[in-house]
Structure 1
Amino acid sequence: MSNDSSSQIVTGLRDWIVKAPPGSRLPSTRALVAEHSASPVTVQKALRILAAQGLIDSRPGVGTFVRALRTAQPSDYGWQSAALRSPQFPARPVSTAMRSAPNDVIAFHSGYPDRELLPERLVRAALARASRGDAALSRPPAAGVPELQSWFAHELRTATPAGFAPPTPSDVVVVPGSQSGLSSVFRALAGGSQPVLMESPTYWGAILAASHAGADVVPVPSGPDGPDPVELARAFEETGARLFYAQPNYANPTGAQWSHQRGEEVLEIVRRHGAFLIEDDWAHDFGISTSAVPLAAREDSGHVIYLRSLTKSVSPAIRVAAVIVRGPARDRILTDRGAESMYVSGVMQAAALDTVTQPGWQTHLRALRHQLQSRRDLLAASLRQHAPQVHVAHVPHGGLNLWARLPDGTEVDRFVRECESAGVIIAAGSEWFPAEPAGPFVRLNYAGPNPGAFEEGARVLGSILGDRPNAR
C-alpha cells in the first residue's frame, strides 16, 4: 500500500474496526472527509481497500458496516473419499522438473531451457502478429492449421532418404504439447491394461501418461547407446506388447543418441512383432555436436508414431507439438484429441509457425548450439574438479541434461534434501525409472539459469558427498 492519505485513513479505520463489535456502522463519508481533511475520492479509495481485505461491508443507500466474520471451521472433505472410491491410479507428486525455484538458488532441476536460450524477440513479434490476424477470432481445424501441418511434415520430409515415402501434411495431428500427444497415443492405442515397453530410465512424463491411460508399463534396460536389441526382443515376446516408447535422440534423462545401426535393429524388431515405436523427438532442436535424425524418416509402413515438440525450443508459453502417424492409428489418436480438447488454439499455432519460419529462427538455432555446448562443458568440468564423486559416464551430444551416478550406498532422497538446504536444487533420478531405480542417480540440467553459478553448485554437491563416510 502506498504511503498517502488513503493509507493513513485505512490504518485509522482498521484500529477502530478491531475495537468495534461486528455490524457497527462506520462514520459517513462526509464525516471521514472532515475528520481526515481528505477528498471524497481518497476516502472512497480507503474504503475499497478495507472492503477488499474483508473488514467491511458496504450497503448502498444504508451505510458501511464492520463485517461480521464467521469463525473459521476446519474443512472436512471426508465425504469425497467415499464418493470417489479408490483411485484407479495412485497419485504421483508433481515432478521435481516442474518446480519453480527462487532466484537465490542454483537450479539444476528444471526440464526447460533458461529464458536467455529462447528466441524471445521472434516469439514476441510472432504473438503480436498472431493477435492481430484471423487466428485470434476463428476456430482452427481439429487436426491443426494446414500451414503448420505442412511445416511439420516438411521437417520430417527433409530427413527422409531416397526410396522411402515421405509423410504428408494429412498425416500430422497438431497437439497442445508433446505431453498431451503422449497421453492421447497411450489412451488411443494402449488403454485397458495393455503392456507398453519403455526404455529404463526414460522421461517421467511418459511413464505418468502411460500409467494414467491404464497401460502396464514394462521397463527395457537402456544405456548410452540405447536399448539392448536382445532385451527388447525378449520383452516383446514375453509380454505381447504392441507399443514401445523411446527417445532415439538425446534421451531424457541420459542424453543417449542411438547409432544408425541401433535404430535399424530396433525398427526390425518392431516390424517383426507387428508393433508401434513411439518416437519422442522432444530435443530435435537441441543438438550440440551432432544433429537429430528421426527414425520415422526411414520407416513408411506405419510402425513409427513420431512426436515433435516446439514447446521447449520456441517458448514454454507456446505449447504446440505434432504427432505424425499414418493409417487407422491416426484416426484413433485424432478421435481422442477431439474428446480431450477439440482443437489447439489458433493463436498459439500461428505464433509457433511464424517463429519457426522467420529467417532469424535458423540463426537462433546455430547460436543455441554453441550456448548449450558451453554450458554442458562448464558443468561437466565443474563436476570433475569439485565433485569427482558425481560420475557422468556419458557426456551427451545434445539435449539439456547430464545423467550422473552417485557413490553406491548414497541415500539419494536425503542427498537431494541436503543439497536444497545448501541452496542447490537437483532432481532425484528415481523419477525417471518405470520400475525400481538401477542405482543412485541424479539428473542435472545444464540449460538452467545463471551458468556462472555452476562451479559453486558443483562445489556444494562435492562437499555434501565428501561429508559421508561411504563417499571417501
Structure 2
Amino acid sequence: LREWFARGIGGAITAADVLITAGGQSALTTALRALAPPGAPVLVESPTYPGMLAIARAAGLRPVPVPVDADGLKPALLADAFRASGARVVVSQPLFQNPTGAVLAPERRPEVLRIARDAGAFVIEDDFVRRLAHEDAGPLPPPLAAEDPDGVVVHVSSLTKATSPSFRVGALAARGPVLERLRAIQVVDTFFVPLPLQEAALELVGSPAWPRHLRAVSAELRHRRATMAGALRSGPGDLALPHVPSGGYHLWVRLPDGTDESALVAGALRAGVAVAPGRPYFSAEPPAAHLRLSFAAVAGTGEITEGVRRLRTACEEVLRRPGTALLPAAGDGHTGPA
C-alpha cells in the first residue's frame, strides 16, 4: 500500500518514505504536531479548510494567514509572512484549494518551494482532492512533493473522499530525518492503521474496478457541477457565478459588503437548504461575507436545482430586496454540495 501511494506521488518518493495514516485529518494532525512546537506560528492559506485550523489551534499553534487568489498562494506575501512571523511551516492545498477551488499557478510552484527552503521551513501539501478532478479537468499538475529535490514538502493524501467518509486510509510522505519525527508522533497518537483496513484498501486500489470508479465519480462531479452552475446562472443575477473549477465538490460565493452571513445561513436552513458560512474558513477577520455550497452530499441533480431555488428564497427573505445582486462582478466562486 505504501508503494501504491508512492507511485501516485511520483518524483523521488519511494515506499520507504510513506506512512499509512487513518485518513487525511489524522495525517495533518501528525504533520503539524511533528513540525511545530506548541506556541509556534504556522502559515495557513486564507481562506482555508476549517478542520486544519482546528488541528493547529488544538496543538497550541498560532495560524498566520497568507492570502490566496485564483492562482493560489501569493509568493511575495508568503515570503513576507515567513520573515514577519518566523514560522517554519506553511500548510497549502495547491490543487483545487478548499474553499476557493484555486490551483497553484505553474510559475508559482517553484517559487513557493524556494521561499520555504530559504526560510528553513516545511511545506505541508494537503493533496486532498486529486482523485476528485472532473471529467473535463485535463492533465493535472503533479504533487509539489514530486518536484521537491530538497525534502521541503511533507505530502498528505487520502482515499477517503473518493470512497467513503468511514474509509479512513491516507498517507504521509516525507524524505530525510523529518520522516522519523512523523513516525514517532504517529506511534504515540494512533500506533498504526489496522491491517485488515490496509488490506481492504490495497485490494480496492489494485482492482480493475478502481479506475472505473474514479471515472464514474469524475463524470458525475462534472454533471453535478454543471447542474449547479446552470441553476445559479439561469435565475436573476443575485447568485451570479463568475468562475467554476474543474475539480472538487464545492462553490465559494462572495456576498456583498454588509451582508449578514449568519442570518443568510439561518434563513437558508429555514428554507430547507443547508449551506456553510464562510467565517470559519478564515483564521483572522474575513474581508467579506461568503458561503460555501457543496454538490456532493445530495441524492442527485434534482436536489441541487431545488437547493438553489430555496437558497434564492432565503436570499430574498434576508435581504428584503428581491433581485439584489449577491455577487459583485469581481466575486470568485467554486463548486461543491448545497
Q: Same fold (TM over 0.5)?
A: yes
* Alignment deviations for residues 423-451 of structure 1 (CA, whole Å, 9 cap, x no partner): 10111011111111221101111122132
Greater gyration radius: 1
Rounded Cα–Cα distance in structure 1 between residues aligned with 2:98 and 2:233 = 22
Question: Is residue 390–residue 405 contact of structure 1 (8 Å, CA) maintained in 2?
Answer: no
Query: SS in structure 2 opposite 1:241?
Result: coil
In structure 1, which of residues 422, 447, 454 is the aligned counterpart of residue 304 of structure 2?
Answer: 454
Question: Is residue 257–residue 397 contact of structure 1 (8 Å, CA) maintained in 2?
Answer: no
Deviation at 1:388, TM superposition (A): 2.8
Tell me whether 1:277 sits opposite 2:123 in the alignment.
Answer: yes
Q: How does 1:51-90 map to 2 (within 5 A)?
A: none
Tell me whether 1:465 sits opposite 2:318 in the alignment.
Answer: no
Query: SS in structure 1 opposite 2:267?
Result: helix
Q: Which residue number corresponds to residue 404 of structure 1?
A: 253
Deviation at 1:301, TM superposition (A): 1.2
Question: Is residue 392–residue 403 contact of structure 1 (8 Å, CA) maintained in 2?
Answer: no
Q: Which residue number corresponds to residue 218 of structure 2?
A: 369
Deviation at 1:266, TM superposition (A): 0.9
Q: Alignment length, in residue pairs?
A: 318
Deviation at 1:189, TM superposition (A): 1.1
In structure 2, which of residues 164, 178, 184 is the aligned counterpart of residue 335 of structure 1?
Answer: 184
Deviation at 1:185, TM superposition (A): 1.0
Q: Which residue number corresponds to residue 96 of structure 1?
A: none
Tell me the percent identity. 41
Query: SS in structure 1 opposite 2:67?
Result: strand
* Runs of 4+ more than 6 Å apart: none
In structure 1, which of residues 197, 200, 205 is the aligned counterpart of residue 43 of structure 2?
Answer: 197
Structure 1: gaps of 5 or more residues: 1-147, 161-165
Deviation at 1:319, TM superposition (A): 0.1
Question: Is residue 254–residue 402 contact of structure 1 (8 Å, CA) maintained in 2?
Answer: yes
* Alignment deviations for residues 321-354 of structure 1 (CA, whole Å, 9 cap, x no partner): 0000111211111111111111111111111111
Q: Which residue number corresponds to residue 149 of structure 2?
A: 300
Q: Which residue number corresponds to residue 238 of structure 2?
A: 389
Name the CA shift for 1:213/1:391 in 2 (closer, same or farther; >3 Å): farther
Q: Which residue number corresponds to residue 31 of structure 1?
A: none
Query: SS in structure 2 opposite 1:332?
Result: helix
Q: Which residue number corresponds to residue 182 of structure 1?
A: 28
Q: How does 1:70-219 map to 2 (within 5 A)?
A: 148-157=1-10, 160=11, 166-219=12-65
Deviation at 1:226, TM superposition (A): 0.5
Rounded Cα–Cα distance in structure 2 between residues aligned with 1:432 and 1:387 = 28
Question: Is residue 387–residue 462 contact of structure 1 (8 Å, CA) maintained in 2?
Answer: no
Rounded Cα–Cα distance in structure 2 between residues aligned with 1:364 and 1:387 = 37
Of 240-249 and 326-335, more deviation after overlay is shown by 326-335
Give the RMSD, CA atoms, in angstroms: 1.4
Task: Tell me which amino acid in the other structure corresponds to 1:286.
Answer: L
Q: Which residue number corresponds to residue 18 of structure 1?
A: none
Task: Tell me which amino acid in the other structure corresponds to 2:51.
Answer: G
* Alignment deviations for residues 197-234 of structure 1 (CA, whole Å, 9 cap, x no partner): 00000111111111111111100011221021111110
Question: Is residue 387–residue 458 contact of structure 1 (8 Å, CA) maintained in 2?
Answer: no
Q: Which residue number corresponds to residue 174 of structure 2?
A: 325
Task: Tell me which amino acid in the other structure corresponds to 2:295.
Answer: Y
Rounded Cα–Cα distance in structure 1 between residues aligned with 2:75 and 2:270 = 42
* Alignment deviations for residues 22-68 of structure 1 (CA, whole Å, 9 cap, x no partner): xxxxxxxxxxxxxxxxxxxxxxxxxxxxxxxxxxxxxxxxxxxxxxx
Query: SS in structure 1 opposite 2:171?
Result: strand
Per the normalisation by structure 2, the TM-score is 0.91
